[in-house]
């Protein structure tokens, strides 16, 4: 007769696995997001130094006083438009042509705004909409978009965007005033003309690094828009630049659509 087996000892219940440590996300509050954007936008100041000095010296040479120079920077806050304005003003162009030309130069901001809108969302008020539009520049757009497209971005978009624009605004105001006083003391042999393309080259590299999956499309957009801008540079009122922008946008949209269609076909075949 087989001996009865001893009942299995009462083992203590297995303790539940220790919870995984919480993931560390980027701050999402207004102040923290603003500071994060400010940190991302601060390096662009190095490229703005010669750009702002050129503006201040040009404003003085065009006959503007200190108050007018500062007021233009505060009111327009668009480097290329301000330099175009000064050049036309110095050459006696009539007011209507001046306004149309400056407006044409700034038309690219409409494209920037439509691109940023899905990330920033609707403005909470008319005042906030005006503030967001006022701080929209090539620099703030490129820095913000490069960050928004990065996987894992967790900052609040609007304060981050405003923070990214703040260094550009502060640097532009300060360098314009410094250029007004000290621009004439700088040697003419310094390659100030390279300042503007170097700023935009820095911006483009930041955008190119934001999303590797779209790098080919971005390069194609830059090449097509750049070649078109060179070929159309003699069109008056800077309309060639606007045409180049729209051509680049069209190339980007077409290539993105082809890529999406190809990816959809591969999924259907799988």
Q: Print the domain residue range for 229.
A: 211-270
Instruction: With respect to residue 220, please indicate whether it lies within any of the assigned structural domains.
Output: yes
pLDDT attached to residue 1: 45
Task: Measure CA 247 to chain center.
Answer: 19
Question: Would you state the structure tokens that stand for residue 178, as one six-digit string?
Answer: 């410094």
Same-domain status, 89 and 146: yes
Single out the residue in 203, 229, 246 at which a domain terminates: 203
Instruction: With respect to residue 22, please indicate whether it lies within any of the assigned structural domains.
Output: no
Domains: count for the chain: 2
| Listed residue (242, 194, 250) closest to 224, CA to CA | 250
Instruction: With respect to residue 256, please indicate whether it lies within any of the assigned structural domains.
Output: yes
Neighbours of 199 (CB within 10 A): 22
pLDDT attached to residue 52: 87
Same-domain status, 77 and 45: yes
Same-domain status, 190 and 257: no
pLDDT attached to residue 169: 95
- Residue 140, Cβ density class (10 Å: 0-12 exposed, 13-18 middle, ≥19 buried): buried
Same-domain status, 163 and 241: no
Q: How far apart are CA 42 and CA 46, in angstroms?
A: 8
pLDDT attached to residue 130: 93
Instruction: With respect to residue 195, please indicate whether it lies within any of the assigned structural domains.
Output: yes
Same-domain status, 93 and 199: yes
Same-domain status, 148 and 241: no
DSSP class per residue in the chain:
-PPPPPPPP-PPPPPPPPPPPPP-PPP-SHHHHHHHHHHHHGGGHHHHHHHHHHHHHHHHHTT--HHHHHHHHHHT--HHHHHHHHHHHHTT--HHHHHHHHHHHHTHHHHHHHHHHHHH-S-SSHHHHHHHHHT--HHHHHHHHHHHTSTT--S-HHHHHHHHHHHHHHHHHHHHHHHHHHGGGS-TTS-GGGHHHHHHHHHHHHHHHH-GGGHHHHHHHHHHHHHHHHHTTTSGGGHHHHHHHHHHHHHHHHHHHHHHHHHHHHHHH-
Same-domain status, 176 and 78: yes
pLDDT attached to residue 153: 86
Same-domain status, 149 and 245: no
Q: Taking a C-beta distance cutoff of 8 angstroms, is the pair 156, 30 a contact?
A: yes
Instruction: With respect to residue 11, please indicate whether it lies within any of the assigned structural domains.
Output: no
Each residue's pLDDT, cut to its tens digit, for the chain (270 residues) gives 444 444 544 544 444 444 434 334 444 688 999 999 999 999 888 878 888 888 898 888 888 999 999 999 999 898 888 888 888 788 787 788 788 778 877 877 887 888 899 999 998 899 999 999 999 998 898 889 888 888 788 889 999 999 999 999 999 999 999 999 987 677 666 666 666 666 667 667 766 665 666 778 888 888 998 899 889 888 876 677 778 878 887 888 888 888 888 877 777 766
Instruction: With respect to residue 8, please indicate whether it lies within any of the assigned structural domains.
Output: no
Same-domain status, 145 and 227: no
Same-domain status, 236 and 255: yes
Q: Taking a C-beta distance cutoff of 8 angstroms, is the pair 173, 153 a contact?
A: no
pLDDT attached to residue 202: 67
Single out the residue in 168, 203, 238 at which a domain terminates: 203
Instruction: With respect to residue 122, please indicate whether it lies within any of the assigned structural domains.
Output: no
Single out the residue in 162, 177, 203 at which a domain terminates: 203
Same-domain status, 196 and 217: no
Instruction: With respect to residue 113, please indicate whether it lies within any of the assigned structural domains.
Output: yes
| Predicted model pTM | 0.69
Same-domain status, 235 and 191: no
């Amino acid at each position: 007769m087989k001996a009865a087996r001893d009942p299995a000892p009462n083992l203590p219940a297995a303790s539940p696995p220790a919870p995984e440590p919480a993931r560390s996300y980027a701050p999402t509050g207004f102040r923290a997001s603003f500071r994060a954007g400010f940190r991302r936008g601060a390096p662009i100041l190095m490229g703005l130094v010669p750009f702002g000095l050129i503006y201040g010296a040009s404003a003085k040479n065009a006959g503007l006083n200190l108050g007018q120079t500062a007021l233009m920077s505060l009111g327009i806050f668009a480097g290329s438009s301000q330099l175009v304005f000064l050049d036309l003003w110095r050459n006696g162009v009539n007011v209507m042509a001046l306004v149309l030309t400056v407006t044409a130069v700034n038309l690219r901001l409409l494209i920037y705004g439509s691109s940023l809108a899905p990330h920033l969302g609707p403005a909470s008020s008319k005042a906030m909409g005006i503030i967001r539009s006022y701080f929209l520049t090539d620099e703030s757009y490129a820095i913000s978009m490069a960050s928004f497209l990065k996987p894992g971005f967790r900052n609040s978009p609007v304060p981050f965007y405003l923070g990214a624009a703040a260094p550009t605004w502060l640097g532009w105001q300060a360098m314009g005033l410094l250029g007004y006083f000290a621009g004439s003391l700088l040697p003419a042999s310094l390659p100030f003309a390279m300042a503007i393309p170097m700023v935009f080259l820095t911006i483009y590299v930041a955008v190119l690094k934001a999303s590797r999956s779209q790098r080919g499309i971005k390069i194609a957009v830059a090449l097509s828009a750049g070649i078109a801008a060179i070929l159309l540079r003699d069109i008056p009122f800077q309309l060639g630049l606007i045409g180049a922008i729209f051509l680049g946008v069209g190339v980007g949209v077409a290539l993105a659509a082809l890529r999406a269609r190809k990816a959809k076909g591969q999924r259907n075949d799988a």
